[in-house]
Structure 1
Amino acid sequence: MSKYTPILWPKVILFGDSITQFSFQGSGWGAEIADKLQRKCDVVNRGLSGYNSRWAKIVLPRFISSQNSTDNVNIKAVTVFFGANDSALEDKSPQQHIPLQEYSENLKEIHRFLSSAGVSADKVIFITPPPIHEPAWEKECMLKGSPLNRHNSVAGQYAQACVQAAGQCGSDVLDLWTLMQKDGQDYTVYLSDGLHLSEKGNSFVAQQLWGLLESRVAELPFILPYWGDVDPKSPESSLLCNQ
């Protein structure tokens, strides 16, 4: 068999909690981003339902090598999307709750690790928690025998801390908490249960994120030739080229 060069597919890594984990479901924002990058880039879902930023910083080195490796150089972007669980009320959800100041420091520590691994600040996109619709989420809590454990105003404090941390790190941020409530719009249409995203919310996140992500992946080529351009008499000449 002819010698060939392995294809190193570029990667976009989605790192977050359940809102990221569920993003590959039908009409999910992660699935929409992956669809836009077909044949150009792998979109890797590293969403962890229920996780907070404290746990995230612990497990991140298990996903991305701490060494500035060739594989890391191929990372085109990393989204960091935590806060929906960190902002849970301490007295109602002590296992998930993370104090505001620690949340901010955890985000910056995640950023420092990514930087040390060769993922530069311009490749990191922070995403704030979305707003909470308390009446809808309270119903979900009650179904599980628990009281309301999140407040929209508290989620807003964590969103603001995320925006500030991103600024200090020199990275972009997608402030969902603010954007979804901009100009007094009905943000509840973006949520399926008061916390997680509805189909419209997923579409909104995909659209807003693509606005930040597109410039980072715009120059990525279509990997391997279009089928009509493959020489049927000598396919190796097309398919084993150093692309």
Structure 2
Amino acid sequence: MSRLSSVLWPRVVLFGDSITQFSFEPGGWGAFIANNLARKCDVLNRGLSGYNSKWAKIVLPQLINQSTDPQNIAAVTIFFGANDSAIKEANPKQHIPQDEYVQNLKSMIEYLKGISITEDKVILITPPPIEEAAWEKECILKGCQLNRLNSVTGKYARACVEVATECGTDVLDLWTLMQADNQDFRTYLSDGLHLSQKGNDFLASHLWPLLEKKVSGLPFILPYWADIDHLNPEAMLKAS
């Protein structure tokens, strides 16, 4: 018996913390990307709520490696920093020093390059801004003190941009874009840290042009229905 060839979808991997994990919820930015790439790419959500870049660096080789066919990956987003930038005294478990955060991002980019996922396929995303008053209310409900400051998160965001420049990747600087022109960035956040519907829309609209450049040459997978010969569909649809 002959073996049929498999139809392989190229893949886009969204790798990040809770903002990525939640991105496939209704109206989420990941769901928007997946919908835009239907019949062109599989969009894989590899968001890990609460993770920082140190933990991400450890698990990345378990998520993307030679056995997962890295040559078939069209793009990878790396979206960490919201937890790394937590204040050490208030949240020592998630906090990662800024210089270590930088090295962790570089390490992940180098790892991907080592398995043939070159820097032109990588998009870094900075953490969004922190709305401290709203996030403090969340912290109090959890029995802890305010553990993030927007000014500190901004330093990590700038560091992320510098890594992208040094390593030759694309970058989406959410922290800066959401605060540009004195706009009220609070509307982009649901609880001071995570994204609201408007924030998801904002991220999706700015990420899509960067991602589209990387997948624009990919073909529509399997024939359009109207092009199929209904009297002999096997001629176009059956793999040899």
TM-score (ref. length: structure 1): 0.96
Corresponding residue for residue 119 of structure 1: 117
Unaligned residue ranges in structure 2 (runs of 5+)? none
Corresponding residue for residue 82 of structure 1: 80
**Partner Cα distance (1:7, 1:43) in 2:** 16
Matches within 5 A, 1:123-134: 123-134=121-132
Counterpart check, 1:160 vs 2:134: no
User: For each residue in 1:128-171, what CA deviation from the matched residue of structure 2 results, as whole angstroms up to 9, or x when unmatched?
Assistant: 00000000000000111111000000000000110011111111
Code of the aligned partner of 2:235: S
User: For each residue in 1:8-59, what CA deviation from the matched residue of structure 2 results, as whole angstroms up to 9, or x when unmatched?
Assistant: 1100000000000000001000000000001110000000000000000000
Among 140, 145, 148, the alignment partner of 1:147 is 145
Q: What's the CA shift for 1:108?
A: 0.2
Q: What's the CA shift for 1:6?
A: 1.1
Q: What's the CA shift for 1:241?
A: 4.7
Q: Secondary structure at the match of 1:23?
A: helix
Q: What's the CA shift for 1:4?
A: 3.5
Counterpart check, 1:230 vs 2:228: yes
Among 178, 181, 185, the alignment partner of 2:179 is 181
Corresponding residue for residue 10 of structure 1: 10
Unaligned residue ranges in structure 1 (runs of 5+)? none
**Partner Cα distance (1:199, 1:222) in 2:** 29
Q: Secondary structure at the match of 1:94?
A: coil
Q: What's the CA shift for 1:226?
A: 1.6
TM-score (ref. length: structure 2): 0.97
8 Å Cα contact 1:19/1:49 also seen in 2: yes
**Partner Cα distance (1:10, 1:61) in 2:** 19
Corresponding residue for residue 59 of structure 1: 59
Q: Secondary structure at the match of 2:90?
A: coil
Alignment coverage as a number of residue pairs = 240
Corresponding residue for residue 190 of structure 2: 192
**Partner Cα distance (2:115, 2:127) in 1:** 25
Answer with 229-238 or 124-133: which moved more: 229-238
8 Å Cα contact 1:80/1:125 also seen in 2: yes
Q: Secondary structure at the match of 2:69?
A: helix
Code of the aligned partner of 2:165: G
Kindly report structure 1 stretches of 4+ aligned residues shifted beyond 4 Å: none
